[in-house]
């Protein structure tokens, strides 16, 4: 899913729907891949999260159990 399409409208809508103090859980097998394209997407998403005053609570590399 491209979280950044249309200027991040999906994340902005999630921000509108979440209760104050709520959590949004995002998982992706490619989120931290070494591919430069995936890193650019993650970095752009992280920048958008900062702009809407969200913070990453946990970042875990590696396969899920």
Residue 65 belongs to some domain of the structure: no
Domain span at residue 12? 5-16+24-51
Report if residue 42 sits inside a domain.
yes
- Asked if residue 60 is part of any domain, the answer here is no
3 state SS of 12? helix
Cα radius of gyration rounded to whole Å, the chain: 12
Number of domains composing the chain: 1
More confident residue, 25 or 7: 25
* Distance, CA of 32 to CA of 17 (rounded, Å): 27
43-64 pLDDT, tens digit each: 888 898 899 899 888 877 666 5
**Contact status, residue 15 vs residue 52, Cβ threshold 8 Å:** yes
Does 61 reside within a domain? no
Q: What is the structure's pLDDT at 19?
A: 93
Structure tokens at 16: 């509108």
Under the phi-then-psi rule, with left for phi > 0, alpha for psi from -120 to 50, and beta for the rest, what region is 4?
alpha
Q: What is the pTM of this model?
A: 0.66
Structural domain contains residue 63: no
């Amino acid at each position: 899913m491209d979280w950044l399409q249309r200027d991040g409208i999906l994340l902005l809508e999630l921000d509108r729907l979440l209760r104050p103090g709520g959590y949004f859980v995002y998982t992706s097998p490619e989120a931290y891949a070494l591919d430069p394209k995936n890193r650019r997407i993650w970095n752009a998403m992280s920048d958008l999260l900062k702009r809407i005053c969200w913070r990453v609570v946990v970042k875990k590399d590696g396969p899920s159990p």
